[in-house]
Amino acid sequence: MYEVELKLPASLEDVRTRLEELEATPLGGVVQEDTYYDAPHRSFPDTDEALRIRREYDADGTTEIATRLTYKGPLLEAASKTRAEHETGLEDATAMHATLEKLGFEPAAVVRKDRERYRYDDYTLTLDRVGGAGTFVEIETDVGTEAEIEAARERATHILERLGLDAAKQVRTSYLELVLEGEP
């Protein structure tokens, strides 16, 4: 599977208004806490990979609703944040954390996001407040083959234009990198 994603800094209020005008389907809000890991056998920043445990909570951040382990491969193209992604659910984040540490993986950073999600066409649009990085809009969809990436990216660009956003202003830097850049 490939995740085709574009991310831009944006005024969330303006985008929310446009999404309502376009009759996008609200999917609700969540709080996500992502713990990223460094590998003992290679540098993920150097290889442009990521391994994380994501703990997802309800919109007020009090009740945990899901926990997932995700591997993200290197970016596949210059025009978007498209990459191979493998993800699975976890029953116990604490046990997975302990397992990764026993294998030599070390926590690198934690990124916290308050997210408001919408569905429009076959895309998920997320309005993000990222601690230490700012406010962003993400648009993403999953495709099964590399041959589908370009068409999915072009459709995402068209949707962004309908929202009054310029896809040329996209940020290909991960939230993890943005947060780490902001640290003293």
Active site residues per annotation: 36
CB 166 within 8 A of CB 26: no
Closest to 67 measured CA to CA, from 89, 52, 51: 89
Round to whole Å and give the CA distance between 57 and 36: 17
Closest to 138 measured CA to CA, from 176, 180, 179, 167: 167
Reported as half-sphere exposure (CB side, CA atoms, 13 A), residue 172 has a value of 13
What is the token pair recorded at 147? 């041959």
